[in-house]
Amino acid sequence: MAAHDMARFALKTRSSMEHLFILITMGDLLGVPILPPYYSLRLLPYVVPQVATWKRRMLREKDLTDAIY
Amino acid sequence: MNSALALILSLAAGLFTYYVYARYVDQRIIQADPRKATPARLYMDGVDFMPTSRHVLFGYQFKSIAALGPVTGPIIAMQWGWLPAFLWVIFGTMLIGWVQDYTSVMIGVRNEGQTFGALSYRLISPRGRITLLAFIFFYLILIVAAFGKIVGDMMAAVPSVPVAIVALVIVGLGAGYLIYRKHADILYTTLGMVVLALLAIWLGTSLPVKASPVAWVLFALAFSYAGAVLPIWLYGQPINYISFYLVFLGMIGAGIGVLVGHPSFTIPAFTQWTIPLGSIWPLLFVTVACGAISGWHSLVSSSGSARQLEKEIDARYVGAGSMISEMVLAVLSIIIAAATFASFAGYKEALGKGPAFIFATGMSGLLSFLGISPEFGKAFAGAMYVILAITVMQLVLRVARLSTTELLGDYVPVMRNMYVTAALVAIICWALIATGTWQYIWTLFGGSNQLMAALALMLVSIWLKQSGRNWHFTFWPMLFMFITTVVALLMTGIKLFKAPALLLAGKIKPPAGQTVAVAVGGNYISGVIAFLLVLAALVLVVDGLRVFFTSRPAAAGAQAGQTASTAD
């Protein structure tokens, strides 16, 4: 239980990198076209498992009180 | 009263609350359903929303809520005698404390893991959210100021502590480096680092470091500043991680010490209705802060635990269970204050050196029943106390930095720079500590803390009413906490505004080490904060009550308080 914080932090770090990666590659899904679609499509199969969660996290309203813990 | 009996009574009260009242609310009113998908399972993203074992979550919640409040408040409240504080800790927790923690978890769970900012926006009004954020900002500053002052006094009063704290920082940094950078085995690293920290405490007993309280306050603020701006994996987290074990060892040791030594209470059960701090109502209820009820818990519950709860039926264990454990911690500190000194006069004299000194002395007494030398016991207790404060201070300063950016970043571009915002918040806290009168700062902190609790209970009451559930068990405690706290804050505020005239006339003396001019300024600053807190709370409560009385239960089948998901 004491290490729970650390585990969460490690996961947060990984997820923020993942977000960035998917945003760059699959930005089209949210209307942010960055890569030409050709490359996006080539990468799509690898990203499919994360897309649903990623979209939800990106589109969820954030509030300052989220940051407290 | 025998201290072992007090401890056993509190345990019995806790178990009764958990198995009878909490179970009733959980099953009959909230109707926790193990089959309902919690936000953690619904929105599992491996980060914020992550189903977590209830035992891990219990430890996490307890570690997050147990700080200086339950330890310091009861020690100060002993001036009324031990009985009022004891009764309030027990009944406050039984009737209000756990209710707030548990319902704060459940309101988050039933509202897609939304936190208080979003909930107040949706349930009350957009103005409600902004007011709440401003309120939280002042509240956070008061936490840092109240805790910082205590740390300063403690490190000056017990010179064996500083070496241990500096060593703890080094040990924490080492642990972070080994675990994150070198991928060392977490078990061996933890063991090694905890042993090193204990060795450092022992070393501190033969290496006393003397400095003024002011210097130690600056040290504590510098420590917290580093925690607020450095990457969290490097500094804040590993230090908190190692600290957890020290605090845990201390609590277990104190509990066993009470049962082995079972000293009797030496101070009277009741002294008088009015002490220099003020009258028993409302002041006792804000002086004993987190041991009975605390707004901080609601923030932790709704932002952290609600998003990680695996099943709804775990909420009672996590929310109510950890609050009841904290009640036991508060009872331990009542025992420490009431059974350590030979008489009430001895307690009063020790209080002059600060509540932290009382804690260190009493704790070393309890540990000595286990054969631990008083010198080491005192250094250990001192270190534990400072750890409890300083780990929360750095976290709070971090959040205060974020909220400053959020509130002012759009209008003042420089406020987006984290070094500037963290420094600004630290300076405001320093100004409060340097000029304020300690006991009033503590009262303001306690007041803001209990007001936060009342606001949390009000949000929950609105949600309960809108979803057609019984709201009485949160509404009436909310009203009691709100009226009590507002009266306490107004009384304190008026006192603070009256003090400058008396100071200038020479009728009262400024606190030790302060000039009259500084004390006058400090009184005005604290007084303004008191009134601002009351104002913010009034705006929120008036808006909230208007919504509360006009809201009707939603039609059956349509769960009020459920918003359309933003997913896909």
The model's pLDDT over B315-327, given as tens digits with 9 standing for 90+, comes to 999 999 999 999 9
Return the pLDDT at B565: 38
Once rounded to an integer, what is the mean pLDDT over residues A4-8? 79
Q: What CA–CA distances, in Å, run from B64 to B81, B312, B323, B363?
A: 29, 20, 11, 22
Whether the ω angle into residue B282 lies within 30 degrees of 0, i.e. cis, is yes
d(CA A60, CA A53): 10
pLDDT digits (tens, 9 = 90+) for B125-153: 999 888 888 888 888 889 999 899 888 88
Interchain CB distance below 8 Å, A57 and B399: no
Assign B405 a pLDDT band (cuts: 50, 70, 90).
Answer: confident
Q: Is the pLDDT of residue B103 over 50?
A: yes
Return the pLDDT at B482: 95
Q: Is the pLDDT of residue B93 over 60?
A: yes
Return the pLDDT at B95: 95
The SS3 call for residue A56 is: helix
d(CA B292, CA B277): 19
Q: Which residue has the tokens 């923030």?
A: B299
With contact defined as beta carbons under 8 Å apart, do B138 and B342 qualify? no
Q: Angle CA(B113)–CA(B57)–CA(B14) in degrees, nearest 5?
A: 105
What are φ and ψ of residue B557, in 5° steps? 95, -35
d(CA B144, CA A65): 18
Interchain CB distance below 8 Å, B118 and A63: yes
Once rounded to an integer, what is the mean pLDDT over residues B69-97? 94
Once rounded to an integer, what is the mean pLDDT over residues B293-302? 91
Contacts of A14 in chain B (CB under 8 A): 46
In this structure, the number of other CB atoms found within 10 A of the CB of residue A2 comes to: 18
Return the pLDDT at A47: 87
Contacts of A19 in chain B (CB under 8 A): none
Nearest CA in chain A to B117: A65
Interchain CB distance below 8 Å, A65 and B303: yes
Q: Is the pLDDT of residue B453 over 90?
A: yes
Return the pLDDT at B212: 87
Residues 184-223 of B with CB under 8 A from A: 186, 190
Return the pLDDT at B242: 85
For chain B, state the CA radius of gyration. 23
End-to-end CA distance of chain B: 62
d(CA B541, CA B464): 16
Q: Is the pLDDT of residue B101 over 80?
A: yes
On average, the pLDDT of chain B sits at 88
Assign B205 a pLDDT band (cuts: 50, 70, 90).
Answer: confident
Helix (H) or strand (E) holding B197: helix B186-206
Q: What does the block give as tokens for B369?
A: 């029943």
Q: How many residues does chain B have?
A: 568
A5-14, B112-121, B525-534: range with lowest mean pLDDT: A5-14
Closest of B396, B492, B78, B446 to residue B290, by C-alpha: B446
Return the pLDDT at B563: 42
The SS3 call for residue B51 is: coil
Interface residues on A facing B, Cβ-Cβ cutoff 8 A: 1-6, 8-15, 52-53, 55-57, 59-61, 63-69
d(CA B147, CA B167): 20
Once rounded to an integer, what is the mean pLDDT over residues B501-508? 83
Q: Angle CA(B228)–CA(B393)–CA(B327) in degrees, nearest 5?
A: 140
Interchain CB distance below 8 Å, B303 and A68: yes
Q: Is the pLDDT of residue A58 over 70?
A: yes
Q: What does the block give as tokens for B228?
A: 């607020």
Once rounded to an integer, what is the mean pLDDT over residues A7-16? 82
Which residues have CB under 8 Å from B48's CB, separation 6+? A66, B113, B307
CA dihedral B453, B482, B447, B359 (to 10 degrees): -60
Q: Amino acid identity of B526?
A: S
Return the pLDDT at B562: 45
Assign B341 a pLDDT band (cuts: 50, 70, 90).
Answer: confident
Q: What CA–CA distances, in Å, run from B453 to B68, B110, B439?
A: 17, 19, 21
Assign B409 a pLDDT band (cuts: 50, 70, 90).
Answer: confident
d(CA B393, CA A32): 40
Q: Is the pLDDT of residue B559 over 70?
A: no
Q: What does the block give as tokens for B74?
A: 């009861």
Helix (H) or strand (E) holding A38: helix A37-59
Q: Considering CB atoms only, which of A1, A59, A68 is closest to B60?
A: A1
pTM higher than 0.85 for the full model?
A: yes
CA dihedral B366, B368, B372, B373 (to 10 degrees): 120
